[in-house]
């Protein structure tokens, strides 16, 4: 397979208005909950990126009918959890950590046997953090040295648990909640810090009784879900690249329309505002249970900060592009408490450290974070390590680099943001695409 490289050239300015694709986290959850609902779930704004399509294909292997409608929406024709049947082949989740972890929770309490796997990158990612609480609920789950493939065997009705998560994680929390739908009693999840609450909001939309607060979530099972309509806002994690790009290069402003601004997702905005970023939240509104707004940014003088620990889980997917903002800021930025970055699609601490050093930025890494000394990026050639967020972050860096930045292995951007290069070009990026052996 040929490598797709981007060459991101410096530009004088960017600007304009754009929209970003639907939220990846919400799209995954809409498919999974729709698959076990008693009635159809209509999904508007679904992200047809590779990760979400892998989840869709896995559900279709188990007999779930998913319909593409003429108006661009997606209908998931659920018929209750008992309608899912065992697949004759392993369920391949591609590169999707969200897909494989949440599907593990969904299948843990169902009377079918399943094997979940993925691409080489996914097969290196830790899965015991999900398997441990699910086993405590009575699930029969075997991992491969802690990683995929994951084998789930039918083990009868699960039991409720009271579980304290060692680290705040929306994926672990969501996997437990999905399992709790088929468990007897009240499951309580305690988290040490706030994490994404899309699952709780969507469960409520479909009729589940979910209660609690930022630190404790409760669901009583067994619980049946009804049908309904789910609107998917623009993905904040995708908008993040343009938020930072605008702060670096939008002299007359840049607006990203219709972005989800769920308070459990916008730690990046707090971090950038603390650095001096000019960010305006305009036209706030609700799309179902999810808050949405337009985000307006303009070129700003950024200064280095010490990132507050409470912001880290609210920005965990946005750190690659945040590190680019830190590189462009005056002074030093320090991030700690972010060890989770080492077990994403790549080791994002080492991958971003290597990328920034390649383009002339001095950094120091730690087991749980990185220190970035702001300066002038000089250009260079680097590899994305098969990580979509590394590729897009360094394309943003190219805007203000002294010379072009060449990024290898960028086809992976389609996992979360199909059409990124075209969207970027529409607001003034100069990205050339090259193909080679």
Query: Residue 92 catalytic?
Result: no
Residue with tokens 């749980």: 368
Query: Degrees (nearest 5) of the Cα angle 355, 361, 365?
Result: 70
Which among 220, 212, 197, 194 is positioned nearest to 289, based on CA atoms? 197
**Could you tell me if 323 and 372 are in contact, meaning their C-beta atoms sit under 8 angstroms apart?**
yes
Q: Is 422 exposed, middle or buried (0-12, 13-18, 19+ CB in 10 A)?
A: exposed
**Could you tell me if 325 and 302 are in contact, meaning their C-beta atoms sit under 8 angstroms apart?**
yes
**Could you tell me if 362 and 373 are in contact, meaning their C-beta atoms sit under 8 angstroms apart?**
yes
Structure tokens at 392: 């897009």
Selecting among 23, 317, 387, 409, the annotated active-site residue is 317
Structure tokens at 3: 């490598």
**Could you tell me if 363 and 370 are in contact, meaning their C-beta atoms sit under 8 angstroms apart?**
yes
Residue with tokens 């986290």: 25
Catalytic residues: 317
């Amino acid at each position: 397979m040929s490598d797709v490289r981007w060459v991101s050239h410096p530009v004088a300015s960017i600007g304009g208005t754009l929209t970003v694709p639907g939220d990846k986290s919400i799209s995954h959850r809409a498919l999974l909950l729709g698959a076990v609902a008693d009635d159809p779930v209509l999904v508007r704004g679904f992200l047809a990126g590779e990760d979400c399509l892998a989840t869709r294909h896995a559900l279709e292997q188990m007999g779930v009918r998913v319909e593409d409608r003429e108006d661009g929406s997606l209908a998931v024709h659920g018929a209750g959890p008992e309608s899912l049947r065992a697949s004759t082949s392993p369920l391949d989740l591609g590169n999707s950590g969200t897909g494989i972890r949440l599907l593990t929770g969904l299948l843990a309490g169902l009377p079918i046997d399943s094997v979940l796997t993925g691409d080489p990158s996914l097969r290196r990612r830790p899965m015991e953090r999900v398997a441990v609480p699910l086993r405590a609920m009575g699930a029969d789950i075997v991992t491969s040295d802690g990683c995929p493939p994951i084998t789930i065997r039918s083990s009868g009705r699960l039991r409720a648990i009271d579980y304290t998560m060692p680290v705040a994680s929306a994926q672990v929390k969501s996997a437990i909640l999905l399992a709790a739908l088929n468990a007897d009693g009240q499951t309580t999840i305690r988290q040490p810090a706030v994490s994404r609450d899309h699952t709780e909001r969507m469960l409520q939309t479909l009729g589940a009784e979910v209660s609690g607060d930022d630190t404790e979530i409760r669901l009583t099972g067994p619980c049946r879900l009804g049908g309904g309509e789910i609107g998917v806002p623009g993905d904040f994690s995708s908008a993040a690249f343009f938020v930072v790009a605008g702060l670096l290069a939008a002299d007359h402003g840049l607006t990203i329309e219709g972005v989800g601004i769920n308070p459990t997702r916008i730690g990046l905005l707090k971090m950038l505002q603390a650095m001096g970023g000019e960010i305006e939240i305009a036209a706030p509104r609700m799309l179902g249970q999810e808050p949405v707004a337009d985000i307006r940014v303009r070129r700003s003088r950024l200064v280095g900060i010490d990132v507050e620990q409470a912001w880290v889980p609210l920005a965990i997917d946005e750190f690659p592009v945040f590190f680019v903002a830190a590189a462009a800021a005056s002074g030093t930025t320090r991030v700690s408490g972010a060890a989770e970055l080492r077990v994403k699609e790549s080791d994002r601490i080492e991958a971003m450290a290597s990328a920034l050093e390649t383009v002339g930025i001095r950094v120091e890494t730690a087991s749980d974070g990185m220190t970035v000394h702001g300066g002038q990026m000089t250009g260079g050639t680097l590899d994305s390590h098969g990580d979509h967020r590394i590729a897009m972050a360094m394309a943003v860096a190219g805007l203000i680099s002294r010379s072009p930045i060449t990024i290898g292995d960028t086809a992976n951007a389609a996992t979360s943001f199909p059409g990124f290069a075209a969207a970027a070009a529409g607001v003034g990026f100069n990205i050339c695409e090259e193909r080679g052996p």
